[in-house]
Amino acid sequence: MPVLLNYWMIFPLVAVVSLLLTGVIRRYALSRNLLDIPNNRSSHAVPTPRAGGLAIVLTFFPGLLALWMIGSLPTKVLFALFGAGSLVTWIGFLDDRRHIPPKWRLGAHFLGAAWGIFWLGDLPPLSVFGHLVHLGWAGYLLAAVYLVWVLNLYNFMDGIDGIAGIEAITVCLGGGIVSALFAPASQEWLVPALLLSAVAGFLCWNFPPAKIFMGDSGSGFLGLTLGLLSIQASQVNPELFWCWLILLGVFIVDATTTLLRRAIRGKAIYEAHCSHAYQHASRRFDAHRPVSVVVGMINLFWLLPVALLVTFGSLPGSTGLLIAYSPLIFCAFLFKAGLEVRQKNISA
């Protein structure tokens, strides 16, 4: 009971501190002219402070330490999340302040991914259509590529007010639920619940119309952390990895479809653009809020139920992934993911 009480003390405290700290960072960003200036690729119409994602990081880390101190977080997970997250946040903050060449950013991303994989330890075999596939050393390379992709796609998808925060909150909620149901004694739900709390405080400032943006420091951190949590969950049971992939489906499908269609059309994949499905949708509805809210609803009312079917053994994880992603792929094409159109700035 005392340990349970500590959980409920930590989570609201983290959310409140995140809320207050975001306001402090907003004032700092305004005083230092750390603003996101609208351009022809932007989805907003007015200069807006950025780097608000630092509030998520600076409240999540003390929360991790608190969980570790009460014996509810393994040391290896603490080191994996803290070390990898710190590196990615730092390079993202530098990029928020002044442009960092892509090769240096990518190098830091792979270094952070390698650090996280090292501390998490052995990778379990992957369950594919009922068969366990042992990837051996190739699994570590694939895991690093996967983490760097999730990190960067989260950055790509953080383009309209509230979408990245809502995605993180709903994915963490779903991940916490499936972990608690699948392995109630493992306490795997604690870290997703902690991250949800840290993001909730920030989202109060970022919900449309946003008063501050997350910035690369926050989006990169969230992408890498969610990726590491999915790998950690796979160590409890390989099927849980598929559950996390299902829950991340909106971001994975939109970003991957957009990148592939741009590559097929001969566009440089590293060039900034405004051709994601969610960006087309925000222009079609002339607003950010409905798109961001619908993303959360898809996560809770479509992807989470499919993940729960996997959790209860009604579906193999890989089959559940195909079922979950099929309508998302259809929507990505419906909203012209990867196709360029004339940009239109939207205020909220």
* Residues contributing to the annotated binding site: 155, 216
Q: Which residues fall in the annotated binding site for Mg(2+)?
A: 155, 216
Sequential DSSP letters for 311-328 = HTTSS-HHHHHHHHHHHH
b/e map 177-190, b = 16+ CB within 10 Å: bbbbebbeeebbbb
| CA angle centred on 162, ends 334 and 77, rounded to 5° | 105
The pair of three-digit structure tokens given for residue 178, joined into one six-digit string: 């499936």
The separation between CA 182 and the C-alpha centre of its own chain, rounded to angstroms, equals 22
Which tokens in the block code for residue 150? Answer: 């999730």
SS3 at position 127: strand
- Residues with Cβ within 8 Å of 243's Cβ and at least 6 positions away in sequence, in order, are 174, 175, 178, 182, 233, 307, 310, 311, 317, 320
